[in-house]
A and B are shown apart, each in its own frame.
Chain A
Amino acid sequence: MMAEQIMSSGFDPNCVRKVVSVAAPQSIAWQVFTQQMGTWWPLAMYKIGKANAVDAIIEPRVGGRWYERGDDGSTCDWGRVLAWEPHARLVLSWDITADWQYDPGLNTEIEVRFIAEGDARTRVELEHRKLDRYGDRRDEMRTIFDKTGDWGQLLAAFAQMAATRAKKAG
């Protein structure tokens, strides 16, 4: 809800675009995104390992790993660093399949741009692209990555499901 879609770029079924305006200087926005990911990434929901994930780490160089670390010390790769341009631009590969397994051959791409808007505000643009790599599961994955606008529909579907279940139970 906080992020808005970039409408001007037109619809591309293989790409999800988001923009968020952050009340933080560009350097801090970059730092929090790239070096403190474990403090904000919703690890309880979005992780792939068997262990409880306690951190998400991006190795700060092109070719570096992007991975989660579990509370048992195990790690699970998510992707690789494709571009590392401090404070301004980051490109990562997202190599997690539609079944939430790591596959180094998947290669969907996430580009994050940090654009300073004065000293205290940063516009963060995120593009998750090459979703065609999901093949016939592209639309399913697109929906997961970009559900904006489906709010009402989903709630209606939920209300209906709940009512049906209640009827069955009652």
Chain B
Amino acid sequence: MINAERVLDALGDRTRRRIFVRLRNRACYAGDLARGMRVTRSAVSQHLQVLRAAGLVAVRAEGTRRLYRVDTRGVKTLRRWLDGFWEETLGAFKEAAEEAASRVRKP
């Protein structure tokens, strides 16, 4: 539960939503994200940290620069939370059972 609420909290802020939407279009460096937004670079960094903690954004170091992109885990968590306990749990079970069955068919 906590994880889904963290996603909702993270997206409950307008600047963070704008950052997330930008990253959804394409991966970005932190410096490029700050451009065109009326917030400082350090504020963008802080927002990125919140988005990362919620599982919405992932980062990769490229030399001295950091490339940010959307992390689908946060969205998945939220979607499953919205689906409800047994929907989510049975959905996960279905995936696992079908994977096990396909391993038996193709050893």
Contact = CB atoms under 8 A, between A and B. Distances in A.
Given A22-B94, A24-B100, A162-B12, A146 B86 contact: yes
B1 A162 contact: no
A40 B92 contact: yes
B100 A16 contact: no
Contacts of B92: 40-42
A28 B97 contact: yes
Interface string B71-107: 0000001001111111111111111111011001000
A20 B94 contact: yes
A126 B92 CA distance: 14
B89 A46 contact: yes
10 contacts: A18-B86, A24-B97, A28-B104, A33-B93, A42-B88, A42-B89, A124-B94, A145-B84, A147-B82, A162-B12
A49 interface: no
Main secondary structure of the interface of A (DSSP, over half): mixed
Interface in A124-170: 124, 126, 128, 143-148, 150-151, 154-155, 158, 161-162, 165-166, 169-170
Interface in B8-24: 8, 11-14, 17
B4 interface: yes
Interface in A50-81: none
Contacts, number: 118
A20 B90 CA distance: 7
Interface residues of A, number: 45
B97 A29 contact: yes
A7 interface: no
Main secondary structure of the interface of B (DSSP, over half): helix
Interface string B35-73: 000000000000000000000000000000000000000
A45 B3 contact: yes
A23 to B, nearest CB: 5
B12 A165 contact: yes
A42 B80 contact: yes
A41 B89 CA distance: 6
A52 to B, nearest CB: 13
A146 B84 contact: yes
Contacts of A29: 97
Contact of B96 (A40, A151, A162, A170): A40
B4 A45 contact: yes
A98 interface: no
Nearest to A100: B1
